[in-house]
Amino acid sequence: MTSSAEKRIAELENELLLLESGKHPKLMEKLREFQQKQEDELQMIDIMYEREKEAIERKYQLEHAAIQRELKEREDELVQALLLEVDDRIRFIEAEVAVLDVAGPACPTFSMNKKCLRRRPHDSSSSTEKKKARPTAPAIIHLLPEHIIAEDVKLLAPAESIPSVVQHHKVSLDNGKLIYEGKTYQRGQALVVQTENYGAFAGMILSICEQYIQFRSTVPGDTRQVLATMDDLESGRVILKKKIV
């Protein structure tokens, strides 16, 4: 074996030892390149992560602010709707109280019983004065002049001789109940009332008397009420139905 070959073998063995120990120059240079590339990539990943995080936070803040504004608008709309509903309910209840006398009976035709106390000796003068007192008739105020009222009376006088309208409906009262066309109606019952002026509307019976029957609309916000006499029901000026057809 020549000296040049031996020298080459020695160089290779030396490089092998450097590779095994990790001190070969080319190996160390490649490792430094890989480490630098890895650091650059990690730094780029961190930069992209921070940018993506900032974008997500900005989007979250914008969407959160939009949701809060929408929630506030919905709350305001709900409060306004509830206030309007409460106002409508208050007006409806006030109208019911104005129409229906809750403190009295259904047909206020009875007088309250009055208990007379025993007269005392020193109260004789005052009691006799009370007995002598006479109730005065209420004054009637006419909005029209007397000559116009007299002319109206003359025009209405011949109407008394006109025969009454032919009865179309069978109406009667039985123990505080209304019998209309064979159907029984009682106080508080829901029904449909139809008149020439008001048309048809859902209502209920407030009171049943010999003089009249009182009806009231049950539609929220509707304060219509009708006082119908027996003649109104018999002649068909007021028509009753138990349900809307």
Domain stops at, among 99, 122, 155 = 99
Are 226 and 195 in contact, with CB atoms under 8 Å apart? yes
* 38-86 per-position pLDDT tens digit: 999 999 999 999 999 999 999 999 999 999 999 999 999 999 999 998 9
The answer for residues whose C-beta is within 8 angstroms of residue 84's C-beta and 6 or more apart is none
User: How many other CB atoms are there within 10 angstroms of residue 238's CB atom?
Assistant: 23
Domain stops at, among 56, 82, 99 = 99
Residue 163 to residues 108, 116, 227, 239, 243, Cα–Cα distance (Å)? 32, 50, 23, 22, 33
Is 123 within a domain?
no
Domain stops at, among 78, 99, 120 = 99
Is 90 within a domain?
yes
Q: What CATH number did the domain enclosing 181 receive?
A: 2.30.30
Are 219 and 239 in contact, with CB atoms under 8 Å apart? no
| Nearest residue to 212 via CA among 196, 199, 225, 198 | 225
Are 197 and 71 in contact, with CB atoms under 8 Å apart? no
Is 31 within a domain?
yes
Q: At what angle do helices 3-21 and 25-99 cross, to 10 degrees?
A: 30
* 86-131 per-position pLDDT tens digit: 988 888 887 777 766 444 444 545 445 555 555 555 555 544 555 4
Is 109 within a domain?
no
Is 172 within a domain?
yes
Find the domain containing 76 and state its range. Answer: 12-99
* 142-199 per-position pLDDT tens digit: 555 666 666 667 666 654 444 444 557 889 998 889 999 889 999 988 899 998 887 8
Main-chain phi, psi angles of 138, to 5 degrees: -65, 140
Domain tally, the chain? 2
Main-chain phi, psi angles of 15, to 5 degrees: -65, -35
pTM attached to this predicted model:
0.34
* 195-242 per-position pLDDT tens digit: 888 788 888 998 998 888 999 888 888 888 888 998 889 988 899 988
pLDDT reported for residue 157: 61
